[in-house]
Amino acid sequence: MFSSSTYSFVLATSILALSLYESKAQLSTTFYSSTCPNVSTIVSNVVQQALQSDSRIGASLIRLHFHDCFVNGCDASILLDNSSNIQSEKNAGPNVNSTRGFGVVDNIKTAVENSCPGVVSCADILALAAESSVSLSGGPSWNVLLGRRDSLTANQAGANTAIPSPFEGLTNITSKFSAVNLNTQDLVALSGAHTFGRAQCRTFSNRLYNFSGTGNPDPTLNSTYLTTLQQICPQNGAGTTLANLDPTTADGFDNNYFTNLQSNQGLLQSDQELFSTAGAATVSIVNSFASNQSAFFASFAQSMINMGNISPLTGTNGEIRSDCKKVNGS
């Protein structure tokens, strides 16, 4: 028989376990099943339309979700414009003259509002748009957890420090992932999003001519690939010229990113270091994904769900913005 004190302890433990479960379970794949049942289709249709005129928009949309989640959690803070009391994250170093796709997010929001006014958050739209971007480009599909709410403020300073940089070494980037409870498997899987999209010369030209002050190119760059990149990005050329992140299948979502790393054809320093850092735990994961696209797709989908779970606003926290660019009533 339980004593009363034992019973109280068991009950308290059960309540604690339940509350911990509920805090993870506040997001749900069925969150809008009665209030906006067609939201996934609405989002997918707008993304598909955008892809027809802009082949890189899928990569741009998934990047918005990524840069949003790493700063104060997945709360659509990255979408807020400057105002009298908001310093926009759009002007932070990792985002300025770089993040794009805001107009497509507005188009999605308009379409969703026309069907279900005042119901779906901008934060959830970013999560859904990321999934659509991947699945419509040949990548995996997954059931997006929903129920996030939108922030009332932005964190430009946080965006300047929390978002991983293409110039950083693997140790620093791993630390930035750890800070939001993402592990090495997540890091390698999510880096695989660089299987599509473009990067500006300014994000990798340091590897082409004077790497780390050596006066020479990055020794981990394939020499043929180096020549190609030097033609795209001449020394003292325009830093905004674009190169494909994946030189093999530029707009398709596949595992070629990882086979590229094996042949020293990662575009960014932060890409190539996953494979070229001697003794790093990332190397075996790169090899696994390079040899097994299904394993990459399964891991990528799970890691996107993990990233989408970073510190969401739920319940009565935050709001459902009517315009993703500004806080309600402003």
Q: Say whether 194 is catalytic.
A: no
Let me know the angle formed at the C-alpha of 231 by 228 and 232, rounded to the nearest 5 degrees: 90
Measured torsion, CA atoms of residues 73, 74, 75, 80, in degrees rounded to the nearest 10: 100
Beta strands in the chain (DSSP E): 198-200, 242-244
DSSP assignment of 169-208 = -HHHHHHHHHTTT--HHHHHHHHGGGGSSEEEGGGTGGGT
Instruction: Tell me whether residue 311 is exposed, middle or buried, using C-beta atoms within 10 angstroms of its C-beta: 0 to 12, 13 to 18, 19 or more.
Output: middle
Residues whose CB falls within 8 Å of the CB of residue 190, separated by 6 or more in sequence, listed in order: 66, 182, 300, 303, 304, 307
Q: Considering 56, 67, 148, 198, which one is annotated as catalytic?
A: 67
Taking a C-beta distance cutoff of 8 angstroms, is the pair 276, 221 a contact? no
d(C-alpha 150, C-alpha 320), whole Å: 6
Taking a C-beta distance cutoff of 8 angstroms, is the pair 53, 131 a contact? no
d(C-alpha 144, C-alpha 311), whole Å: 16
Residue with tokens 């770089």: 98
Taking a C-beta distance cutoff of 8 angstroms, is the pair 204, 272 a contact? no
* Residue burial 122-131, b: 16+ Cβ < 10 Å; e: rest: bbbbbbbbbb
Residues whose CB falls within 8 Å of the CB of residue 2, separated by 6 or more in sequence, listed in order: 10
- Residues that are catalytic: 67
